[in-house]
Amino acid sequence: MKIKPNSSIINYEAGAFLRNIGLFHQAIKYYSKAVELDPFHTRLYDGPARCFMETGKFDEALIYLEKALELEPNNLSSLERYTEILVSSQ
């Protein structure tokens, strides 16, 4: 992070580490920065969506996935996660 703080991939991976150890709120900070740094990379939207889903903030999760699907409407990963969140929020 000190060497390349403005790398979308490094911020994404920092978020992934934090998410994997259950620190969802902290992970969102890094995931959001990754999306901000590279808003056209659809894979980056999945991270914050998963964290919001894990914390019960389904509307926020859907916002990220809707942005990803605007960029790439046929992305199976984003469609799968979108469906998963719709089912979980019921």
Higher pLDDT, 82 or 1: 82
7: phi > 0 → left, psi -120 to 50 → alpha, else beta; which? beta
Query: Whose CA is closest to 34, among 15, 53, 49, 18?
Result: 15
The full set of domains in the chain, from first to last, is 8-88 (1.25.40.10)
Entry pTM: 0.89
**Whole-angstrom distance, CA of residue 42 vs CA of residue 25:** 21
| Matching residue, tokens 């990754």 | 34
pLDDT tens digits, 1-50: 778 889 999 999 999 999 999 999 999 999 999 999 999 999 999 999 99
